[in-house]
Amino acid sequence: SYILTQPPSVSVAPRQTARIACGGLNIGSKSVHWYQQKPGQAPVLVVFADNDRPSGIPERFSGSNSGNTATLTISRVEAGDEADYYCHVWDSSGHVFGTGTTVTVL
Amino acid sequence: EVLLVQSGAVVKKRGESLRISCQGSGYTFTNYWISWVRQMPGKGLEWMGSIDPGDSYTKYSPSSQGHVTISADKSISTAYLHWSSLRASDTAIYYCARPFSASLKNWLEPWGQGTPVTVSP
């Protein structure tokens, strides 16, 4: 089965940039989506199809995808961005989620 | 507004059966797949399976196949996740979610609010 690997945690100071990697074999050939999940809440889509944003999601959230790594970038990080983030792709075997990354705002 | 509303929290004993539900509104229920996603305590998201409510065709993850059953009643726009014999390891929050478009392969949005399931020994 297809595996997506993320770093367990990323720490970033306010107003700095957070980058969350999502590694998978030839992930650049797939469409990658990202979700934000805050404690006690359902996941919320923040980026879809590699680098598109749903309405209501700030421009500070962006994505890229090439080779074996997709990346979610959060610019000008705010305290409210503190959450778990998951990458997601469709593989021939079904939906696959990354292992998840906890973003901590220092 | 497209909404998925799930049934409430449940506490069960090991070996008991359980069915939780996910009701869709604000769209044509039979045109979109419904997926179920598990989140065990302190862990990540895990896809369990999906159903096409139009014809009840289902697709399961290898780890869920044979342990749960996904079904749907299109007359009331509701999908279900069913266990015939719960295990302690089924303790988790279960989310239903809908793909953005009619294709099963798309990103998932919206999500239901989640149903916490606790299975005691």
B22 CB near a chain A CB, below 8 Å? no
pLDDT at position A97 is 98
For B90-103, the pLDDT digits (tens) are 999 999 999 998 88
A65 CA to chain B: closest CA distance, Å?
Answer: 15
Does residue B104 register a pLDDT over 90?
no
* A71 neighbors A96 (Cβ within 8 angstroms): no
Are A95 and B111 in contact (CB < 8 Å)? Answer: no
B23 CA to chain A: closest CA distance, Å?
Answer: 16
* B14 neighbors B119 (Cβ within 8 angstroms): yes
Contact partners, residue A86, CB within 8 Å, separation at least 6: A6, A34, A35, A37, A43, A97, A98, A100, A101, B44, B45
Does residue B105 register a pLDDT over 90?
no
Which residues of chain A make contact with B46, given a CB cutoff of 8 A? Answer: 97
Does residue B110 register a pLDDT over 90?
yes
**Exposed, middle or buried: residue A1 (CB in 10 Å: 0-12, 13-18, 19+)?**
exposed
pLDDT band at B7 (very low <50, low <70, confident <90, very high): very high
pLDDT at position B103 is 86
Does residue B24 register a pLDDT over 90?
yes
pLDDT at position B102 is 83
For A4-57, the pLDDT digits (tens) are 999 999 999 999 999 999 999 999 999 999 999 999 999 999 999 999 999 999
